[in-house]
Chains A and B, each alone.
Chain A
């Protein structure tokens, strides 16, 4: 159901600063909305996003209900060596998703 979109350049020169774009499809229900009958819709959000490169954490984010649905996060990192980016999203109701992307550094 849930799916991730990752955009990482396939190739980079050593020392290049590259942009990493990530999008996770998720409702991000803030927990403050009510139904017509007045009941609060329970919170269901992604609370944590982590990016590791070859096992080392390079970026992490704590997310709150104020992050829009389908959390889209972009950040930068320096290309040091060829390897694999691993992305992890963790959220309410046991939500856990992973994705990965490879880069070749010349």
Chain B
């Protein structure tokens, strides 16, 4: 059928483009890798949007050091607190950025660090609460100078 042939052509082209992308940048996490990295943390539990705040500059000049702060709305009481915060990216060679484990004694569920971003991409933060529910947020970041893959002089 006509539809079938155009679809095949499309896949052929898409495959070619993917091959080209692979040769140009050999190590790049894909959204599939991001999804599986998230699955490794949350398992089959549903991830709800909200409660988590990810502060990261929307436009980054140097991807080698990007300040990032994750905070979670939580009373941080023994009966209701944040157990861990997990940060992921979409297009670095590896989907994980960091896992942070805290407890009710933290008082405030907030963690800051500096990260590397290899490309303009989406950064995802997921928090695991004491009742084993997962909450997330994501931010799109534009990066002008990429990290991780440049040549060593």
Residue B115 CB within 8 A of the other chain: yes
A23 (CB) vs chain B CBs: closest residue: B114
Given A68-B64, A68-B66, A69-B65, A76 contacting B98 (CB threshold 8 A): no
- Residues of A contacting B64 with CB < 8 Å? 68-69
Given A66-B96, A75-B102, A36 contacting B110 (CB threshold 8 A): no
- Residues of B contacting A76 with CB < 8 Å? 106-110
- From 57 to 71 in chain A, residues with beta carbon under 8 angstroms from any chain B beta carbon are 58-69, 71
Determine whether the beta carbon of B99 is less than 8 Å from that of A73: no
- From 67 to 106 in chain A, residues with beta carbon under 8 angstroms from any chain B beta carbon are 67-69, 71-78, 80
Q: Which of B45-53, B87-95, B133-141 contacts A (4 or more CB under 8 A)?
A: B87-95
Residue B24 CB within 8 A of the other chain: no
Residue B112 CB within 8 A of the other chain: yes
Q: In the docked arrangement, what's the CA distance between A99 and B108, Å?
A: 23
Q: In the docked arrangement, what's the CA distance between A71 and B64, Å?
A: 12
SS of A interface (majority): strand
Total A-B residue contacts, Cβ distance less than 8 Å:
107
Q: How large is the interface on B (under 10, 10 to 19, 20 to 34, 35 or more residues)?
A: 35 or more
Determine whether the beta carbon of B112 is less than 8 Å from that of A33: no
Determine whether the beta carbon of A67 is less than 8 Å from that of B152: no
Task: Point out the residue from A61, A66, A74 that lies within 8 Å of B94, measured CB to CB.
Answer: A66
- Residues of A contacting B66 with CB < 8 Å? 68
Task: Point out the residue from B65, B93, B108 that lies within 8 Å of A68, measured CB to CB.
Answer: B65
B104 (CB) vs chain A CBs: closest residue: A78
B26 (CB) vs chain A CBs: closest residue: A32
| Nearest 4 CB-CB pairings of A with B | A17-B107, A68-B114, A78-B107, A76-B108
- Chain A residues in the interface with B (C-beta under 8 A): 17, 30, 32-36, 41, 58-69, 71-78, 80
A-B contact pairs, 11 of them (CB 8 A): A17-B107, A58-B103, A58-B106, A59-B100, A59-B102, A60-B101, A64-B98, A67-B113, A68-B114, A78-B106, A78-B107
- Chain B residues in the interface with A (C-beta under 8 A): 27, 64-66, 89, 92-94, 96-103, 105-117, 147-153
Given contacts A32-B148, A68-B64, A78-B105, 20 further A-B contacts (CB under 8 A): A30-B148, A35-B151, A36-B151, A36-B153, A41-B152, A61-B98, A61-B111, A62-B96, A64-B94, A64-B97, A65-B92, A66-B116, A68-B114, A69-B64, A69-B65, A71-B114, A73-B111, A74-B111, A76-B106, A76-B107
